[in-house]
Structure 1
Amino acid sequence: MAGYKIRDLEMLTGIKAHTIRMWEKRYGLLKPQRTATQIRTYSNEELLLLLNISLLNKKGYKISRIAEMSPEELFQTSREVHESKSSDTSIEQFIVSVLNLDEQLFHNTFRELTQKTSLSEVFSERIIPFLRRIGVMWLVGTINPAQEHFISNLIRQKIIAAIDALPIPEAGQKKILLYLPEHEWHEISLLVYHYHLRAKGLNSIYLGQSLPYEALLKTVQLLNPTLIVSSWLTAIEPQEMCNYFFRLTEDFPHITIAASGYQVDQLKNQLPKTIRHLNGIPDLDQLI
């Protein structure tokens, strides 16, 4: 069973920790267990309950009214009011869709978002923050491989379909290479970047997952790109990663090199100063 700390719930639901504590004390909405050191821990069921409480609260329901509902009434009301357009509950809905393996909920939420705003904004402002939130679930063991594969494949389908609908850029343009290094398979953020660049009419070329270094070297020599972008999420020895980037800067001294992902976030101060750290589409736009 999952054992969320209150800070985990704060990140996953968007509800401040002090508010959660107040709701516990005043309304008894949650009943956390306590560790030997008196630290509150919450179950997966309590996370799901709090997500639905958050949905209703954002839709204008007072917390005192929510506290009077039975669990069945609360979940049913949450599902009914989701169809209204009064506020954005998309990330909470995405999380619920993962927990329940609910493809229809994911599809409906995604469709509603794309009716309101551009796909680039949906991917960068909703999908990427959502993936960061469910990363917490991995840390506490809530998301199993089936759930992770379920949501990753749904998101990949949406992004790849969007890319496929765009025109192929003219060959004469400057080229931007995107790839994942060897042993790296988490491609959603790079697919988002690839879509964004293509949507701007730029000639981005995605080389895929787990690309051997020698293959990258030959491709760069063939295409002579102006920018190379990679993403690093899977755990790697810090020295190995640093050596990789120092080799990149030596082999491609006249090409801008950018990288994103959790491992880059952790080691950015140890990487060569010329490596550009990407923390989202605004950073990418500055490079192009």
Structure 2
Amino acid sequence: MGSFRIHRVAKLTGLSVHTIRAWERRYGLVNPARSTNRYRVYTDEDILVLRYLKEQTDQGVPISELAQRGRESLLAEARRSRWLSPPPERSGDRLLADLQQALVDWDRRTFEEKLNGAIAVVPMDEACERILFPLQRAVGDLWHAGRIGVAQEHFATQLVKQKIAAAMNQLRAATRGPEIVVACPEGEYHDIAAQAVAYTCLSLGFPVSFLGANVPTTELLFFCRKALPSVVLLSITMTPTSESLLALVRTLVGELGHHTTLGLGGQAIESTATWVAREPVRLFPTIRALEIFLDTLRP
């Protein structure tokens, strides 16, 4: 999960430092770790809980009443509230337009400043859904339209991947719980969505093996025979043929066995869902859908 000092948490939640410390001490709804230099360090989940508490108290719900529900209940409510509420389309559209224009103009400084500023104020899973995924689709559209070159496309793509990798590097590797393998199938070279899925699994405390792009089916199966994962998640952004997708799914399901869940996600899932509707495979059109499924795997 992310790692935030208390003054940054105050900015991200709209609460004062005094209030955060008081709620922490009195109700125990957040329990920050201590860094090596003894500073309080808060996680993405702490921020989510604190934002929800502020939202509810602003609407008149007493903090004492909220505290009685307990942290886990509040966290679940906060996640439902966040994903059921509509995204701020207007500001998001403006940001996306600004980023595209900066890329077309080859204004690297503006592009980086706007992207860094946008993802600094939201948890990474939310940043992926509302900023990074739409940006990556827009970058692809710009390249196909001939408005940017390969170098600009690669620059934007690598910057996005760096952001997700940096967030992953802050997470503590899990050693217990169901093992999850995340990969892109053979011929799929776009692995940003898969990387974001790996981050989500790690942030929720699951052991994860992220294999990246273009993994041959034989190599994926070889790895899975060694790792014995409970879940294998594949990201598909480029629409395959129905025959190739069905062949892939049936091969993996047959080889992995009924003890392993096969899941598919990515940009192409919406257009291919009917092809695998009768197959024993789970579809995850959003990160939130994946989070709901992962919650069922907890002991």
Tell me which interval the TM-score lies in, with the shorter structure as reference length: 0.5 to 0.7
Q: Is the 8 A contact 1:179 1:209 kept in 2?
A: yes
Displacement of 1:201: 1.9
Q: Does 1:94 align with 2:99?
A: yes
Q: Is the 8 A contact 2:164 2:196 kept in 1?
A: yes
Displacement of 1:245: 0.9
Aligned twin of 1:192: 196
Displacement of 1:235: 4.9
Deviations 1:87-140 (A, max 9, x none): 553222221232123322222122222342212211221111222334433443
Displacement of 1:244: 0.9
Q: Which runs of 5+ in 2 are unaligned?
A: 1-89, 295-299
Aligned twin of 1:144: 149
Q: Is the 8 A contact 1:94 1:109 kept in 2?
A: yes
Write out the 4+ residue segments of structure 1 that deviate beyond 4 Å after TM superposition: none
Amino acid at match of 1:189: A
Q: Does 1:233 align with 2:246?
A: no
Question: Could you tell me how far apart the structure 2 residues matched to 1:198 and 1:220 are?
Answer: 18
Q: Which runs of 5+ in 1 are unaligned?
A: 1-85
Indicate the RMSD between aligned Cα atoms, in angstroms: 2.1
Tell me whether 104-113 or 181-190 shows the greater mean CA deviation. Answer: 104-113
Given candidates 194, 213, 219, the residue that maps to 1:215 is: 219
Displacement of 1:243: 0.9
Tell me whether 107-116 or 161-170 shows the greater mean CA deviation. Answer: 107-116
Amino acid at match of 1:225: P
Q: Is the 8 A contact 1:228 1:257 kept in 2?
A: yes
Aligned residue runs from structure 1 range 251-270, under 5 A: 251-254=255-258, 255-270=260-275
Displacement of 1:176: 0.8
Amino acid at match of 2:284: L
Aligned residue runs from structure 1 range 1-288, under 5 A: 87=91, 89-170=94-175, 172-254=176-258, 255-271=260-276, 272-288=278-294
Question: Could you tell me how far apart the structure 1 residues matched to 2:149 and 2:91 are?
Answer: 30
SS at match of 1:112: helix
Deviations 1:205-250 (A, max 9, x none): 1012211212211221222211111112235333122211111122
Deviations 1:23-48 (A, max 9, x none): xxxxxxxxxxxxxxxxxxxxxxxxxx
Question: Could you tell me how far apart the structure 1 residues matched to 2:265 and 2:103 are?
Answer: 24
Q: How many correspondences in the alignment?
A: 202
Q: Is the 8 A contact 1:101 1:150 kept in 2?
A: no
Amino acid at match of 2:292: Q
Amino acid at match of 2:275: Q
Tell me whether 110-119 or 161-170 shows the greater mean CA deviation. Answer: 110-119
Question: Could you tell me how far apart the structure 2 residues matched to 1:280 and 1:196 are?
Answer: 11
Percent sequence identity over aligned pairs: 22
SS at match of 1:174: coil
Displacement of 1:175: 0.7
Instruction: Find the structure with the greater CA-based Rg.
Output: 1
Question: Could you tell me how far apart the structure 2 residues matched to 1:135 and 1:159 are?
Answer: 19
Question: Could you tell me how far apart the structure 1 residues matched to 2:234 and 2:120 are?
Answer: 31
Question: Could you tell me how far apart the structure 2 residues matched to 1:158 and 1:227 are?
Answer: 25
Displacement of 1:148: 1.4
TM-score computed with the length of structure 1 as normaliser:
0.64
TM-score computed with the length of structure 2 as normaliser:
0.62
Aligned twin of 1:29: none
Question: Could you tell me how far apart the structure 1 residues matched to 2:243 and 2:207 are?
Answer: 33
Aligned CA distance change for structure 1 residues 186 and 115 (closer, same or farther; 3 Å) = closer
